[in-house]
């Protein structure tokens, strides 16, 4: 295994971060339309232009993670705890989940005890939500030359907030998918969806999420998005196991077209800002914002200056 400082790819990580933020802000807009209208708009690919697109906690946490990577080159868990706490303190109104409203103020006061605090969530089981997964794609892109290192670093990232094994596995799966999407070298060859999903599953710890990825790999090519969402889940339960397999499935089938990937993911509805953030981060690790319309980029909230 190569040294972590030799494997970091800042460009791929920032490309993934931009795609994640775009997917997050695009997906968030669908919560502001009545269900039937939203379904019709997605079916006809009608861009929501009623308000600017604002990103949520998905992007905020990814920004905190990338900030640590740019400073350290790898995951230092206490630094990451401090970064999460700082970005929460800067703007706590980014739709953070209830667990993070409990955890992040504690990390602000005492970041050295992150492990203790993470284990106290959800009755001592730790969070099995999708928070570790929704921020993980840029980390996978950073370590695109070494997917096994991406997996190891994703575990370190997830543990700071998600002590439950399935919460950690969600972060691992997304980081692995982003590393595989970006690939060890620039290539025009688009990975086969089945092979891509199977390879992601191989890098994911045994459990519910790995099983979901394998189920996704076995779906027939003609499976519709609503059918896939019904089989895999699309985030309605706000759990990694109910979110990650679907988001990686949509990414796997659109690895060379970010816009198409986001429209397809939105058609699954559910926790659509998070599924689109995950899909966007995976696909953009490979494509960047290539092919995204100027109008979408105008509507989407800008990232901090240090990213742009």
Residue pLDDT, tens place only, 130-158: 999 999 999 999 999 999 999 999 999 99
Q: Write down the mean pLDDT value for the chain.
A: 92
Give domain status of residue 63, yes or no. yes
The pLDDT of residue 187: 59
Give domain status of residue 83, yes or no. yes
User: What's the CA gap between 56 and 185, in Å, rounded?
Assistant: 32
For the cut 60, the answer to whether the pLDDT of residue 5 exceeds it is no
For the cut 60, the answer to whether the pLDDT of residue 186 exceeds it is no
The pLDDT of residue 1: 38
User: What's the CA gap between 230 and 92, in Å, rounded?
Assistant: 32
Share of the chain above pLDDT 90, in %: 81
Looking at the structure of the chain, the number of domains it has is 1
User: What's the CA gap between 22 and 53, in Å, rounded?
Assistant: 8
User: 26: Cβ–Cβ under 8 A, 6 or more apart, which residues?
Assistant: 48, 53, 262, 266, 276, 280, 296, 300
Give domain status of residue 202, yes or no. yes
The reported pTM is 0.95
Give domain status of residue 307, yes or no. no
Give domain status of residue 81, yes or no. yes
Give domain status of residue 305, yes or no. no
For the cut 80, the answer to whether the pLDDT of residue 159 exceeds it is yes
For the cut 80, the answer to whether the pLDDT of residue 7 exceeds it is no
Give domain status of residue 71, yes or no. yes
- CATH number, domain of 45, equals 1.10.4080.10
For the cut 90, the answer to whether the pLDDT of residue 128 exceeds it is no
Q: Determine the structural domain holding residue 97 and report its residue range.
A: 4-299
The pLDDT of residue 297: 96
Give domain status of residue 308, yes or no. no
Which tokens go with 122? 């959800």
Residue 185's pLDDT band, with cuts at 50, 70 and 90, is low
């Amino acid at each position: 295994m190569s040294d972590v400082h030799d494997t970091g790819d800042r460009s791929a990580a920032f490309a993934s971060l931009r795609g994640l933020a775009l997917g997050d802000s695009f997906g968030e807009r669908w919560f502001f339309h009545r269900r039937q209208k939203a379904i019709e708009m997605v079916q006809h690919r009608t861009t929501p232009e009623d308000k600017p697109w604002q990103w949520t906690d998905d992007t905020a946490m990814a920004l905190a993670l990338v900030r640590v990577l740019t400073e350290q080159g790898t995951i230092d868990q206490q630094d990451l705890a401090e970064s999460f706490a700082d970005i929460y303190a800067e703007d706590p109104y980014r739709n953070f989940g209830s667990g993070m409203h409990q955890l992040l103020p504690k990390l602000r006061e005492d970041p050295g005890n992150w492990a203790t605090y993470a284990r106290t969530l959800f009755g001592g089981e730790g969070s099995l939500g999708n928070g570790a997964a929704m921020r993980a794609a840029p980390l996978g892109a950073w370590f695109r030359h070494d997917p096994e290192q991406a997996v190891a670093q994703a575990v370190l990232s997830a543990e700071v907030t998600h002590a439950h094994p399935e919460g950690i596995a969600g972060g691992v799966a997304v980081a692995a998918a982003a590393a595989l999407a970006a690939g060890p070298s620039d290539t025009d060859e688009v990975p086969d969806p089945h092979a891509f999903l199977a390879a992601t599953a191989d890098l994911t710890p045994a459990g519910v999420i790995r099983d979901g990825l394998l189920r996704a790999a076995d779906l027939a090519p003609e499976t519709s998005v609503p059918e896939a969402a019904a089989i895999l889940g699309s985030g309605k339960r706000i759990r990694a196991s109910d979110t990650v397999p679907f988001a990686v499935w949509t990414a796997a089938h659109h690895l060379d077209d970010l816009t198409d990937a986001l429209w397809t993911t939105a058609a699954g509805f559910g926790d659509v800002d998070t599924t689109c953030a995950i899909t966007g981060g995976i696909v953009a690790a490979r494509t960047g914002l290539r092919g995204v319309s100027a109008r979408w980029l105008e509507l989407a909230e800008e990232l901090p200056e240090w990213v742009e």
